[in-house]
Structure 1
Amino acid sequence: MIDFLQLENKLKNNEISNCYIFCGSDEKSIKNSIKTILDKTVNKDFLDLNYAQLDGLTVDINGIINACETLPFMCEKKVVTVYRANFLRDKCDKAMEKVHKDIAQYLKNLPEECILIMYYIFENDREKESYKLKKLDKLATVVKFSKLKGAMLQKKIKAIFDKKDKKIDKTELALFCSCVENNMDIIENEVEKLCCYTYGREITSRDITEIISAKNDNDIFNLVDYLSQRKPQKALDILNELIFKGESITTILRMIERQFKILFDIKLGVEGGSTKEILARELKLHPFICEKMMIQSKKFTLQQIQKSIELSLETEKILKSSSVNSKTEMELLIINTARA
């Protein structure tokens, strides 16, 4: 198994495999890689005749074989993509399990003139590649598309700004990365918005905070802020919004725990005389974010933050050890935390 940065290097060197299996949470990067493969192997004038897309939720092995066995027209290669290939997950129904077993056999005899690409998207950021992929690693090039972080994310985003001939300084770039959702679809949209908003001038930190759509970390910041103001209904509204956007209860709970743990460290640091610069460096936070959290920490006593962490951990324990209504437990957590 390789990561998508290794895949990029291979594609740049025209090292193209007969079969790819992609997995990960960044569908935009997966689609970009498929496009790169298409551009390198299929003549655009005959794309419709040499490129087939199949829905992995409804396809059977005969559909895949028929698409792969059809000879390319006026090209050396044809490409077949199976998206939503959930038969590659460890847990699937009997029909999908049969597709997986059949495809594992078929890959041993895949025609040389066909490039088969199959992919599925992780349900959350903590999901790992399935055990099935490890078994298929010898029959296909398996690529995991993990979300970029730190310097690699900044480098990728900087390249997007460069492509648009827009200058962004290191400080503003770091702030942009900390504010935007780690999703290439969203990132490209936010870059476009920021470039239009600052047309003819340099990008400032204020531009970023005013323009960039709030990501889930900011939603959690606001949720905790409402708890400090003893406004549980406002916090519940944000909880419902996050659930509506597709965030799982466990992910939301983990983000709340993280927020309170950082507030605890900041509160201790401030009381110990640490400056914003010291805390930002020690906690690996952007100075702008650190300053916001220092202000938020003043709205709580150390005892309140400790109690909030305890309530969060207790909720996590309940969710893991019993079959309760997870949303109800989260609502109780918010109400009890507002009263702490």
Structure 2
Amino acid sequence: MEIRQIVRDIKQGKIAPVYVFYGTEQYIVDETVRLIEERVLDEASRDFNYSVYDLRETPVQTVLQDAETFPFMGEKRVVRASHALFLTGSKLPAGAPEHDMDVLSTYVGNPPDYSVLILEVAQDKLDERKKVVKALKKDSVMVECAPLKEAALADWVVRQAKRYRVGMDAAAAELLIAMSGAHLRQLDKEIEKMAVYVGEGEEITEHIVETLATRELEHDIFRLIDKIARLQIEEAMRMYYDLQRLNTGSSETRGEGEPLKILTLLARQFRILLQIKTLQPRGYSQQQMASLLGIHPYVAKLASEQAHAFSEQALKRIIHRLAEEDIRIKTGQVDKVLALELFILGLKDIMHKS
């Protein structure tokens, strides 16, 4: 079932007795569970009828005993259990309790009407060969909480802005994603901040985003590589020095501009560019490349655009040079700040030779 339909059902009071949330976008999990709680629990009896468990520590049969307990001073109870790894192909951590899957399958087939059981697991896939997963697919609401794809992510940002009673167009939304990353919780915080700044009924423009949005270091690495691709080495050096200031700034940003961290991120990004450079001629779509490389589709889009500026040979030479600088820094052969300065200054020569 689509997440939007699930949310509509919850808002209309159509609450299922069992939900399974799986996937890595925790914001979707938390927001949907919050809606369930608001719809099911009243403030007066919430503390008596709301339980949270970690299935790495508590056996599922204990959770189910709680779910089968009648609510106190209220009509329903909500029982939330995280890390349901037994629904996946992953091994349980050492020391994990024994989980009785037969008890869970029996419960799911005939759940009490006074409880809402919520199982969560932060993994992309469930093991559909398992009997208990088949039972859950048949008799519960399965909620996939995967990171939103490129177009859906920008649409979500625009809709979220409307929730805060401000306007935002697609261009501003895409810029915010590029600057602050693709995690919904962080994006929500950024939208809320900018909505407060512009005021109700006003517009969050690209200029506002550029001015106020919190930049991820990865975004600055993208911008740095853009300067390198255009052979704007002086501007690239200025950007590097700006990143260096993060290393001596406030306690919140200190360490972000540490040269070894910048070098590591540069190496990672250039490796992604090389991989995309080899995948594009083979007909892979941006979505396929994102899945294969384990990156967000929007990151794949930006990387695809950057990859055009480099030859495959240049990318290989740059990656090799970064590996050499990493060794020289770690063995004390060169100062780490100087090493990155020399690397950036030497890029024009690498690009020309390739």
Q: Structure 1 length normalisation: TM-score? A: 0.66
Deviation at 1:293, TM superposition (A): 4.6
Distance 1:69 1:182, change over 3 A: same
Distance 1:103 1:302, change over 3 A: closer
Give the 3-state SS of the residue equivalent to 2:44 in structure 1: helix
Distance 1:199 1:69, change over 3 A: closer
Structure-1 separation of matches of 2:37 and 2:259: 46
Q: Which amino acid aligns with 1:186?
A: Q
Deviation at 1:77, TM superposition (A): 1.7
Contact 1:223-1:235 within 8 A present in 2 as well:
no
Structure-2 separation of matches of 1:103 and 1:204: 50
Structure-1 separation of matches of 2:43 and 2:270: 48
Q: Which runs of 5+ in 2 are unaligned?
A: 241-256, 281-296, 331-338
Give the 3-state SS of the residue equivalent to 1:182 in structure 2: coil
Match of 1:129 among 109, 126, 129: 126
Counterparts of 1:1-340 in structure 2 under 5 Å?
A: 2-90=1-89, 91-93=91-93, 96=96, 98-99=98-99, 101=101, 102-122=103-123, 127-131=124-128, 132=130, 134-135=133-134, 136-199=136-199, 202-215=203-216, 217-218=218-219, 220-221=221-222, 224=225, 236-238=260-262, 253=268, 255-260=269-274, 293=306, 297=309, 303-305=313-315, 307=317
* Percent identity of equivalent pairs: 21
Distance 1:188 1:93, change over 3 A: closer
Distance 1:61 1:302, change over 3 A: closer
Contact 1:30-1:145 within 8 A present in 2 as well:
yes
Give the 3-state SS of the residue equivalent to 2:98 in structure 1: helix
Structure-1 separation of matches of 2:50 and 2:191: 31
Q: CA RMSD in A?
A: 4.4
Distance 1:129 1:220, change over 3 A: farther
Contact 1:87-1:100 within 8 A present in 2 as well:
no
Distance 1:241 1:63, change over 3 A: farther
Contact 1:24-1:146 within 8 A present in 2 as well:
yes
Give the 3-state SS of the residue equivalent to 2:195 in structure 1: helix
Distance 1:199 1:77, change over 3 A: closer
Q: Which amino acid aligns with 2:167?
A: K
Deviation sequence 1:250-295 (CA, Å, 0-9, x none) = xx84x543334668999xxxxxxxxxxxxxxxxx989xx69x959x
Deviation sequence 1:62-103 (CA, Å, 0-9, x none) = 421331121012333211111233333322147657315243
Contact 1:224-1:235 within 8 A present in 2 as well:
no
Contact 2:179-2:216 within 8 A present in 1 as well:
yes
Deviation sequence 1:129-152 (CA, Å, 0-9, x none) = 343574231242221111222332
Give the 3-state SS of the residue equivalent to 2:37 in structure 1: helix
Give the 3-state SS of the residue equivalent to 1:53 in structure 2: strand
Deviation at 1:186, TM superposition (A): 0.4
Give the 3-state SS of the residue equivalent to 2:116 in structure 1: strand
Structure-1 separation of matches of 2:279 and 2:65: 59
Distance 1:259 1:184, change over 3 A: same
Distance 1:204 1:265, change over 3 A: farther
Structure-2 separation of matches of 1:204 and 1:117: 39
Q: Which amino acid aligns with 2:115?
A: C
Structure-1 separation of matches of 2:182 and 2:100: 31
Q: Which runs of 5+ in 1 are unaligned?
A: 243-251, 267-283, 316-326
